[in-house]
Amino acid sequence: MSDYKFDTLQIHAGSAPDPATGAVQTPIYQTTGYVFKDADHAARLFNLEEVGYIYSRLTNPTVSKLAERVAALEGGAGAVCCSSGHAAQIMALFPLMGPGLNIVASTRLYGGSITQFGHTIKRFGWSCTFVDFDDLDALEAAIDDNTRAIFCESISNPGGYITDIPAVAKLADKAGLPLIVDNTLATPYLCRPIDLGATLVVHSLTKYMTGNGTVTGGCVVDSGKFDWSASDKFPSLSAPEPAYHGLKFHEALGPMAFTFHSIAIGLRDLGMTMNAQGAHYTLMGIETLSLRMEKHVANAKAVAEWLENDPRIEFVTYAGLPSSPWHERMKTVSPKGAGGLFTVAVKGGYEACVKLVNNLQLFANVANLGDTRSLIIHSASTTHRQLSEAQQIAAGAAPNVVRLSIGIEDAGDLIADLDQALSAATA
Ligand SMILES: *Cc1c(COP(=O)(O)O)cnc(C)c1O
């Protein structure tokens, strides 16, 4: 299967005809428990000596197909799906962290991630140091003996900034730490972080992967390449795991250690499980991922070019524009395009942004992105509202900018809608 190209994998990976019925489309296994053949079979499943279904909090046939497909598209060894993108972030950190330990993360993250890492994880005794990942010296200086992971987004929300993943991966390697990349905005069609040196990839499947605003879901993909036993920093994976009768996950399961730990302990004990119906919608969405991303990119380029040349606009952050400081980086990190999300600074500041949002007809004012339909939001008064103004600016969500998520409608219609709303906003 892994020899096939992306367009083939997005339809076929993880979806052999259903073994029970021969159905070609993956059925929704709306099921909870799975019968054991006998006591010995049950024991082997619980010992992870044999892979099979026990109970849907851990694994479900529909959800497993989705995990297999995302792993194939990302070039990973294994994957685990969970209930949301934010759940995926906790699931990715969970085997690595403990009280007193920290992560180093980019300042340019989705607003919700800045809140999750800046405040909420402290309740687990974890902490996060935020640094500008374009300052590699500052990044290196932020790593200390208690650091257990480095975290960034490939293309970052909301500004569409692109991270120099190969340079950050090199630094992570040198420090003996896993690099976790949130690949939500790029999707594996535009960017494959594992090929660029990432250890783990996390996704909000809620966005482009499903693509039509129907599902909340997440996924953690493991490259299978990190040597968890090279130091004593990752005892959950390298040493006997007390939460699983002393199993040494890395020794017993090799490149699948992280994935099995995430299922056998992460999902078992944290319970952030994806549901079968959601997984089915996401599987259907992924079948057209490359087609949608091509159109998202083409439309985003057309709209961004038009906006950049409009006198009512101060600047546009889209990395797909040759004027962007991230344009060169796009060619190595995200070669098929810079995605469909960017911000626009409107002359007239906060007030003009609010009026623009209120006057658009085709663009919906929605706190989501990666939908087939075009969406707009004023980040500073919504998704990034919990942040200080300095944090908003660092995250690319200053009060004078709006975030556009360009859909797959007709680009001319989108431009006409922006034109009339900008007139109303800046009159
Ligand atoms: C939306 C989003 C998340 C969180 O995902 P949910 O599915 O909403 O929990 C994380 N990272 C990025 C980049 C996002 O856009």
Both 186 and 324 in one domain: the answer is no
- Asked whether residue 365 is assigned to any structural domain, the reply reads yes
Q: Which of 232, 265, 285 lies at the terminal end of a domain, its last residue?
A: 285
Both 359 and 419 in one domain: the answer is yes
Burial group, residue 37, by CB count within 10 angstroms (0-12, 13-18, 19+): exposed
Q: Give just the sign of the alpha carbon dihedral 108, 109, 111, 116.
A: negative
Q: Which of 240, 255, 285 lies at the terminal end of a domain, its last residue?
A: 285
Q: Tokens 């019925």, residue?
A: 21
Q: Hey, which of 204, 205, 366, 379 would you mutate to test ligand 1's pocket, going by the most ligand atoms within 8 Å of its Cβ?
A: 204
Q: What is the pLDDT of residues 302-334, one digit of tens each?
A: 999 999 999 999 999 999 999 999 999 999 999
From the list 100, 74, 72, the residue with the least C-alpha distance to 200 is 74
Q: What is the pLDDT of residues 270-279, one digit of tens each?
A: 999 999 999 9
Distance 161 CA to ligand 1 centre (A): 16
CATH number, domain at 178?
Answer: 3.40.640.10
**What is the band of 379 on the pLDDT scale with cuts at 50, 70, 90?**
confident
Q: Ligand 1, residue 368: give the atom nearest the CA.
A: 1
From the list 30, 28, 93, 80, the residue with the least C-alpha distance to 56 is 30
What CA dihedral angle connects 13, 14, 18 and 23, to 10 degrees?
-40
Asked if the model's pLDDT at residue 395 lies above 80, the reply is: no
| Beta pairing, strands 78-82 & 127-131 | unpaired
Q: Specify whether the CB–CB gap between 179 and 198 falls below 8 A.
A: yes
Burial group, residue 124, by CB count within 10 angstroms (0-12, 13-18, 19+): middle
Q: Hey, which of 206, 210, 382 would you mutate to test ligand 1's pocket, going by the most ligand atoms within 8 Å of its Cβ?
A: 206
According to DSSP, the residues that pair with 104 across neighbouring strands are: 129, 150
What is the C-alpha separation between 401 and 423, in angstroms, rounded? Answer: 16
Q: Ligand 1, residue 86: give the atom nearest the CA.
A: 9
* Predicted local confidence at residue 1, as pLDDT: 60
* Predicted local confidence at residue 82, as pLDDT: 98
Asked if the model's pLDDT at residue 221 lies above 70, the reply is: yes
**What is the band of 411 on the pLDDT scale with cuts at 50, 70, 90?**
very high
Rounded alpha-carbon distances, angstroms, from residue 184 to 82, 122, 189: 14, 24, 11
According to DSSP, the residues that pair with 315 across neighbouring strands are: 345
What is the C-alpha separation between 263 and 81, in angstroms, rounded? Answer: 9
Distance 311 CA to ligand 1 centre (A): 33
What is the C-alpha separation between 369 and 378, in angstroms, rounded? Answer: 13
| Atom 7 in ligand 1: residue holding the nearest Cα | 85
- Domain carrying residue 303: 289-425
Q: Ligand 1, residue 370: give the atom nearest the CA.
A: 15
Rounded alpha-carbon distances, angstroms, from residue 226 to 72, 76, 77: 18, 12, 11
* Predicted local confidence at residue 105, as pLDDT: 98
* Predicted local confidence at residue 2, as pLDDT: 66
- 333 CB contacts (<8 Å, ≥6 apart)? 154, 162, 163, 164, 165, 166, 191, 196
From the list 190, 111, 176, the residue with the least C-alpha distance to 143 is 176
- Asked whether residue 1 is assigned to any structural domain, the reply reads no
Q: Tokens 């906060």, residue?
A: 350
Q: Which of 238, 257, 285 lies at the terminal end of a domain, its last residue?
A: 285
Both 294 and 277 in one domain: the answer is no
Both 125 and 268 in one domain: the answer is yes
Both 209 and 307 in one domain: the answer is no
More confident residue, 393 or 61: 61
Both 280 and 195 in one domain: the answer is yes
Both 186 and 244 in one domain: the answer is yes
Q: Ligand 1, residue 89: give the atom nearest the CA.
A: 10
Give Cα 203 distance to the centre of its chain: 3
Distance 206 CA to ligand 1 centre (A): 7
**What is the band of 111 on the pLDDT scale with cuts at 50, 70, 90?**
confident
What is the C-alpha separation between 215 and 220, in angstroms, rounded? Answer: 16
Q: What is the pLDDT of residues 134-146, one digit of tens each?
A: 999 999 999 999 9
Distance 296 CA to ligand 1 centre (A): 18
- Asked whether residue 263 is assigned to any structural domain, the reply reads yes
Both 267 and 342 in one domain: the answer is no
Q: Hey, which of 110, 208, 342 would you mutate to test ligand 1's pocket, going by the most ligand atoms within 8 Å of its Cβ?
A: 110
Buried/exposed code over 216-239 (b: 16+ C-beta within 10 A; e: otherwise): bbbbbbbbbebebbeeebbbbbbb
Both 261 and 297 in one domain: the answer is no
- Asked whether residue 224 is assigned to any structural domain, the reply reads yes
- Asked whether residue 250 is assigned to any structural domain, the reply reads yes
| Atom 4 in ligand 1: residue holding the nearest Cα | 85
Distance 228 CA to ligand 1 centre (A): 27
Distance 207 CA to ligand 1 centre (A): 8
* Predicted local confidence at residue 385, as pLDDT: 82
Distance 86 CA to ligand 1 centre (A): 6
List pocket residues of ligand 1, CB cut-off 6 Å.
84-86, 110, 112-113, 153, 157, 182, 184-185, 204, 206-207, 216, 218, 369
* Predicted local confidence at residue 28, as pLDDT: 96
Both 270 and 300 in one domain: the answer is no
- Asked whether residue 31 is assigned to any structural domain, the reply reads yes
Q: Ligand 1, residue 87: give the atom nearest the CA.
A: 9
Percent of the chain with pLDDT over 90: 85
Helix 85-93 vs helix 111-118: crossing angle, to nearest 10: 40
| Number of domains, the chain | 2
- Asked whether residue 232 is assigned to any structural domain, the reply reads yes
Both 265 and 152 in one domain: the answer is yes
Distance 210 CA to ligand 1 centre (A): 13
**What is the band of 292 on the pLDDT scale with cuts at 50, 70, 90?**
very high
Helices (H), 231-275: 235-238, 249-253, 257-261, 268-270
Distance 85 CA to ligand 1 centre (A): 5
Q: What is the pLDDT of residues 1-15, one digit of tens each?
A: 668 999 999 999 988
CATH number, domain at 410?
Answer: 3.90.1150.10
- Report CA Rg, the chain: 22
Burial group, residue 49, by CB count within 10 angstroms (0-12, 13-18, 19+): exposed
- Asked whether residue 193 is assigned to any structural domain, the reply reads yes
Both 229 and 293 in one domain: the answer is no
* Predicted local confidence at residue 86, as pLDDT: 98
Distance 409 CA to ligand 1 centre (A): 23
Between CA 111 and CA 121, with CA 116 as vertex, the angle to 5 degrees is 160
What is the C-alpha separation between 325 and 162, in angstroms, rounded? Answer: 9
Q: Ligand 1, residue 153: give the atom nearest the CA.
A: 13
Report cis status (omega within 30 of 0) of the bond before 158. yes
